[in-house]
Structure 1
Amino acid sequence: MVHPLNRGYRDQAAPGVEHTPGRLLSHDNAANGVHRTVLPGGLRIVTEHVPGVQSASVGLWVGVGSRDEHPDHAGAAHFLEHLLFKSTPTRTAQSIAEEIDAVGGDFNAFTAREHTCYFAHVLDNDLELAIDLVTDVVLRGQCHASDVEVERSVVLEELAMRDDDPEDLLGDAFLASVFSDHRLGRPVIGSAESVEMMTRRQLHGFHARRYRPEHMVLSVAGNIAHNEVVELAYPYFARNLDHNAVPAPRRSGTLTLKRRPSVTVLDRDNEQTHISLGVRSFGRHDSRRWALSVLNTALGGGMSSRLFQEVREKRGLAYSVYSNVDTFSDIGAFSIYAGCQDEHLGEVVDVVEKVLQDVAENGITDAECRRAQGNLRGQLVLGLEDVPSRMHRIGRSELSYGNHFTVSDTIARINAVTGDEVRAVAHELLQRPMGAAVVGPFADTADLPASVRRLCRIT
């Protein structure tokens, strides 16, 4: 299908396009490659051919997220993500839905703290339609005042749904506790107050200022050819180009926060109490992140992990308990989650505290280190067995790092982590000031069990 937006361009060459095949990446097959092209205006195109499939996954990544918002319009990136699907100069929301449904495809988007992604997954024969839809919505989505009011109601419903889900609510509350008043601590979705106050002018301005080709990456994976993707994508970005623009530099640096982590209590009458507690950790450019991944997996990444064994298997105190790492460009957060009966919260946290103290002082065993490395290797490879996952991998890599590690390179980095490196990371992180969020029948921090107040140093 050639959409009217493309007429007159379909057979046009891409003047000045730098066809620069990137480093050939493969996983047991030299024909699997990631290629990279930079268009005039700064758009980066990265593709990976995946043999043996009959689909294509297209993602247009924008290096803009909730941390780029002014406090007065918190949630703008997420609100805009909703709004752009409502209409373009040549499409309505209904026609967008009908076109993707007619080919059995999927068209969606998500907003994070440092980026936004609009993506479609279709049969390989419908690659042109997918690129057409994604670029039309992202580049030409309109911000009509009437659509703003409709989507305002939808986002407010999404906020209400978040508030009804204790784990979702807890996740936002935990990051707010860890990052205090920094933008990383604000919910991606914003607040009911900020969403209600958002104006069409603010949203349109956010779109016009932030959604520039130099801040974008087009990633495509599946049964595709790189040059075809470049040819299909170029016409959408060929108008009103700033030929002096170059890709925006990656986010980097080190974030230092003055306020220590805090404890947030959300009084809810749930069937369980939910708790997340943790510390500030490393950004994604810190070489210690590999050791942290191994530590995270050994502590709470599977059924053999310390926390799962000690909290659930040996004592039956919780059904769900795990650890997690949130990683941003300049900082991160290491956290532990548990959901349990209200009366078990104190004992759960007491067990968690003992596990953390032991690992901080003694590290993990060599057997735990090997198991964690094997877990990470398996999860990495298994996670790349579907086309959308490969599209997400190359898109995030280009946007976040500006380069692409082979799967073999990544596995080699995981394997290179030593027990001493894990012990050093554990010793440093697990003795840092700890923040926490609790969703349960507690009015304030004074109502929390003694183990929670002790671990988080609440006086």
Structure 2
Amino acid sequence: MNQHFVHEKRIEITTLSNGLMVATERMPAIATATLGVWVGTGSRHERAHEHGLSHLIEHMAFKGTARRSARQIAEDIENVGGDINAATSVEYTSYTARVLGENVDVALDVLGDILIHSAFDANELAREKGVILQEYAAVEDTPDDLIYDAFMETAFSRQAVGRPILGTPETIKSFDEATIRAFLAREYTPGKMVLAAAGDVDHARIVDMAERLFGGMPSVAAQAPEPGRYTGGERRISRKLEQANLVLGLPGLSFKDPGYYAVHLFAHMLGGGLTSRLWHEVRETRGLAYSIDSFHWPFSDCGLFGIGAGTSGSDVRELMDVTLACMTQATRDISEIELVRAKAQMKVALLTALETPGGRIERVARQLLSWGRVVASEEIVRKVDALDVEHVREAGRQLLQGAPTLAAIGPIKGLPSLDDIASGLRG
């Protein structure tokens, strides 16, 4: 099976004198080009009064520059059949575009313009704050979204890494042009940026444009965010809802931790598919939930493991008891066939992510920002294939030693105490 992973496309990388990295991957069978700029800055890099600023800046990037109105930004991309987008996460912000290969210069010029020359017009800023406040209200009205924000806030209490990306109404309303520009000067520095492109692209041409568009950015020493410190704890929100939404968590691992892949496999075997233990026992055998899944969110210096499900108020106790039993049992008797299946599913997920130019540039950009190099797929697979059943069981046992985090919303009176949950995890 491993032969599928060794035929990597050729990736060319050039670092500009100010530290910005340019990475391209020519894909001869592709007529389009997907390109983007990844910034190694997200919500965890915000100070308390800046909470939500990364997300606002991402929105404001499309609201006008010194030479383009918001309408012109959209028209310049769509007139050549392209599309443009952006996204904010805990540790990254990305700005991406897709066009025909012949129009790469158009897309790059727009991306450079919105990143370097955004105007932050006061009227546009006021309007976009209103849009984000509506987005915030929508989350507050959606229990299965709100509960994951509460989960992160509880697991990493009073820390930027645990704060919701959107911010709060108070911080969103407080932002002005000066606050935005101070954040950009501190965080949007070339040493924390990667311009990546894949598809019908020419490396030399893109490097030349990158130098013209971004080469004048001053090189500024990057500031590391506050280290993530898992705290655990609980947040229970009683509401009159038809269903209770629950998330149970434990301290996970950084993607730089040697044990990361073992924890990832444990999470997948526990609740990562239709053959997983939680799905079979909770959903198929007992009918306690429409869906249940487990996940492992790794960050650069910490991580978070969790299990999420929704159920009726009358079933919350049984759901929790069954979940705890499945978790502890898995640390004792995960089988070889489960491991083989999880490894195969992990490889398919890896290959699938590499089948589009967009997936390829995201992988390249994130790896360059995290590792300073592109990690070959065969290197990842080699680490996964080296794990045996006992490695994964031990990863699970170590995981269950951590202090739990519980976030719950809805009719949740029947939930056991956090101490009882902790005792259940110890078996």
1:88-237 to structure 2, matched below 5 A, reads 88-237=65-214
* Structure 1 CA distance for aligned equivalents of residues 217 and 202 of structure 2: 27
Q: Which amino acid aligns with 2:326?
A: V
Aligned residues of 2:26 and 2:200 also touching (Cα < 8 A): yes
Give unpaired runs (5+ residues) of structure 2.
none
* Structure 2 CA distance for aligned equivalents of residues 52 and 190 of structure 1: 42
User: 1:411 pairs with 381, 384, 392, which one?
Assistant: 381
After superposition, the Cα gap between the structure-2 partners of 1:427 and 1:29, relative to the gap in structure 1 and judged at 3 Å, is closer
1:222-301 to structure 2, matched below 5 A, reads 222-239=199-216, 241-242=218-219, 255-257=228-230, 260-301=231-272
Aligned residues of 1:124 and 1:222 also touching (Cα < 8 A): yes
* Structure 2 CA distance for aligned equivalents of residues 413 and 324 of structure 1: 20
Q: Secondary structure at the match of 1:91?
A: coil
- The one-character-per-residue Cα deviations of 1:130-165 (angstroms, maximum 9, x if unpaired) are 111111111111222222211110110111122222
* Structure 1 CA distance for aligned equivalents of residues 59 and 422 of structure 2: 38
After superposition, the Cα gap between the structure-2 partners of 1:240 and 1:112, relative to the gap in structure 1 and judged at 3 Å, is closer
Q: Secondary structure at the match of 2:87?
A: strand
1:312-327 to structure 2, matched below 5 A, reads 312-327=283-298
* Structure 2 CA distance for aligned equivalents of residues 217 and 416 of structure 1: 31
Aligned residues of 1:273 and 1:342 also touching (Cα < 8 A): yes
Aligned residues of 1:221 and 1:388 also touching (Cα < 8 A): yes
Q: Secondary structure at the match of 2:138?
A: helix
Q: Which amino acid aligns with 2:365?
A: G
After superposition, the Cα gap between the structure-2 partners of 1:185 and 1:28, relative to the gap in structure 1 and judged at 3 Å, is closer
After superposition, the Cα gap between the structure-2 partners of 1:74 and 1:253, relative to the gap in structure 1 and judged at 3 Å, is closer
Q: Which amino acid aligns with 1:300?
A: G
Aligned residues of 2:37 and 2:195 also touching (Cα < 8 A): yes
Q: Secondary structure at the match of 1:88?
A: coil
Aligned-residue offset at 1:389:
0.8
Aligned-residue offset at 1:254:
6.5
Q: Which amino acid aligns with 2:339?
A: C
Give 1:310's aligned residue.
281
After superposition, the Cα gap between the structure-2 partners of 1:156 and 1:255, relative to the gap in structure 1 and judged at 3 Å, is closer
- The one-character-per-residue Cα deviations of 1:213-256 (angstroms, maximum 9, x if unpaired) are 122111111121222211222101233645xx68x59x699644
After superposition, the Cα gap between the structure-2 partners of 1:438 and 1:342, relative to the gap in structure 1 and judged at 3 Å, is same
Aligned: 1:65 with 2:36: no
* Structure 1 CA distance for aligned equivalents of residues 365 and 54 of structure 2: 19
Aligned residues of 1:263 and 1:456 also touching (Cα < 8 A): no
1:9-20 to structure 2, matched below 5 A, reads none
* Structure 1 CA distance for aligned equivalents of residues 150 and 368 of structure 2: 30
After superposition, the Cα gap between the structure-2 partners of 1:87 and 1:318, relative to the gap in structure 1 and judged at 3 Å, is same
Q: Secondary structure at the match of 1:450?
A: coil
* Structure 2 CA distance for aligned equivalents of residues 378 and 451 of structure 1: 39
Aligned-residue offset at 1:374:
0.8
Q: Which amino acid aligns with 1:419?
A: V
After superposition, the Cα gap between the structure-2 partners of 1:40 and 1:395, relative to the gap in structure 1 and judged at 3 Å, is same
After superposition, the Cα gap between the structure-2 partners of 1:456 and 1:176, relative to the gap in structure 1 and judged at 3 Å, is farther
* Structure 2 CA distance for aligned equivalents of residues 391 and 210 of structure 1: 21
TM-score (normalizing by structure 1): 0.87
Q: Secondary structure at the match of 1:172?
A: helix
Q: Which amino acid aligns with 1:102?
A: N
CA RMSD of aligned residues (A): 2.1
Q: Which amino acid aligns with 1:371?
A: R
Q: Which amino acid aligns with 1:34?
A: I
User: 2:347 pairs with 356, 374, 377, which one?
Assistant: 377
1:340-355 to structure 2, matched below 5 A, reads 340-355=311-326
- The one-character-per-residue Cα deviations of 1:92-121 (angstroms, maximum 9, x if unpaired) are 111111122222322111111111111112
- The one-character-per-residue Cα deviations of 1:229-288 (angstroms, maximum 9, x if unpaired) are 11222101233645xx68x59x6996445xx31111223333321111111111121010
Q: Secondary structure at the match of 1:326?
A: strand
- The one-character-per-residue Cα deviations of 1:360-414 (angstroms, maximum 9, x if unpaired) are 3x15111111111111011111222122111111111111121112222222221
* Structure 1 CA distance for aligned equivalents of residues 226 and 53 of structure 2: 24
Give 2:364's aligned residue.
394
* Structure 1 CA distance for aligned equivalents of residues 84 and 169 of structure 2: 26
Report which stretch shifted further, 287-296 or 44-53.
Answer: 44-53
Give 1:429's aligned residue.
399
* Structure 2 CA distance for aligned equivalents of residues 382 and 140 of structure 1: 36
* Structure 2 CA distance for aligned equivalents of residues 318 and 451 of structure 1: 21
Q: Which amino acid aligns with 2:353?
A: G
Task: Report the identity percentage.
Answer: 33
TM-score (normalizing by structure 2): 0.93
Give unpaired runs (5+ residues) of structure 1.
1-25
